[in-house]
Structure 1
Amino acid sequence: MIVDPVTLIVALITISTPVLLAALGELVVEKSGVLNLGVEGMMIMGAVCGSIVAHQTQSPTLAFLAGMAGAAALSFIFAILTQFLMSNQVASGLALTLFGLGLAALLGVGYEGQPIPEVSKPFPEALREIDTVGPILLSHDFVTYLAVFAVFAIWYVLRHTRVGLILRAVGESHDAAHALGYKVVRIRILAILFGGAMAGLGGAFLSVVYVENWVQGMTAGAGWIALALVVFAAWKPGRVLFGAWLFGGIAALQLRLQAAEVGVPVALLDASPYLVTIIVLVVMSSDRARAALNAPAALGKTFHASG
């Protein structure tokens, strides 16, 4: 069987968008020195909120905003627990995922199979029909372009702006940043809220654009892949983009292989995007010393203000 490369590329860009958005949000959170393992829970919360609002209002824009708001609200709980109550970040993140999955299942009762409005494309149909270029570059929705733009925007902010410098300083040494007068807790809370909003946008994209429906457990581990991408990409936005596209490409390919009924067990094909992505990214990040240099020095450490 010959797989059409154009449709494969279009599919991989679409499939990778939710993971890319969530991973970029988590990258900013971790750059501030906070480890939030609740990405899966925030994504599913964004998915259910986006689906409900899309059905009720018939407005994709409001659906995306609702997804961001719902996940950000969930991330604020994590912020309160870890930044004010000094709870363990790993345990709090895992609890956030479990809570998010359960709450989303409760909120989504009665919304499975409900109609969701189609999301319009920013480019006219005449441009989208141009051979090769049209489908690959011009046939996507606004959020997909926003995700790619966010890669460059976050890279620029982290590397070339005062905001990025302060964020990285807090992530490297919160005590030194505090001594310089920076509000460490406030900065970290804002980073956590940003990460939650990005994960929520990814979840809303999943339910409103990709699946066009609410399905319980629809994130299917995408949040964990996003977490893995951040670490294996050595906290670099460009490598996060590559990893997300790798995951999307394998996922799109296995769906086409299933449709062609190749002689490979379906369970193995379903697992292949996760297996191949992890293996490739582990090989890419095999230089532990170099990866350690990129890791925020205060990642996961609790900050205690001393005056």
Structure 2
Amino acid sequence: MTGLCSGRVVVVTGAGRGLGRAHALAFAAEGAKVVVNDLGVGLDGTGGDTGPAHQVVDVIARAGGEAVAHAGDIATADGAASLIATALETFGRLDTLVNNAGFLRDRMLVNLEEDDWDAVIRVHLKGHFLPLKHAAAHWRAEAKAGRGAVARVVNTASGAGLLGSVGQGNYSAAKAGIVGLTLVAAAELGRYGVQVNAVAPAARTRMTERTFAETMAAPEGTAFDAMAPENVCPLVVWLGSAACAGVTGRVFGAEAGRLTVMEGWRPGPTADKGARWTPAEAGETALKLLAESEPAQPVYGSH
């Protein structure tokens, strides 16, 4: 490894399994000291087990790295505050926050219960906001004290948030919200030396294995496991390092060996009457503009 993150202190939420675990190990391999956050809940967010976080810490320690476990609920103000405090109290600084924690409660909209909506929005969207808020408060205080930061935040979006996903209205809405939060945070926090980006990964984890069961297994005898979560980590590690100077407010796709800069909503074909349209005129004009525009990308699961 190159030591790209040598001396940096990195917090990773949801780091006991799947993508978060892979991120934590990848940062440690590049020299970072890692705070491994995980509640150890089931796929639907129920239960709890501190074992996964401690297991990742043990793996890092056996490899000669430094890490500490944090089992607080980062979707609560106290849990998010204690997460940032753990980094500062254990390692004396905070350089990078990787927001990754989440779970699924998939239902078609007509069957989606309010509790399922609230739980998924809470863990993904609120679970991004609160750690980001507390980390940003620390970095702002550092900047005001004359101690400039080279701080990084990497949020976890999803293609479901960019395109939609059938049966995942709650998850898609949360992930779309994370993209909006990323853009606002990048604009607000740049003055304090903080860069904020998001990654929309595609990889084999507990959350995706049922959806992609037939396509996500590594072909027998192949050297490259295209859907391994470790394939997403190099981009996340780079975005969490000082090496990505000047890159902020962007969303990247990461899948197998492919990296993509995602280009979101921007003005397309436009018509300006200079006065109020009638409904009939508005409809006729809208159809003309649609004919001139790029076709919409299909929603996941709609074909």
TM over 0.5, shorter chain: no
Q: Provide TM-score, normalisation by structure 2.
A: 0.30
Q: Which has the higher strand share?
A: 2
Q: Which has the higher helix share?
A: 1
Larger Rg: 2
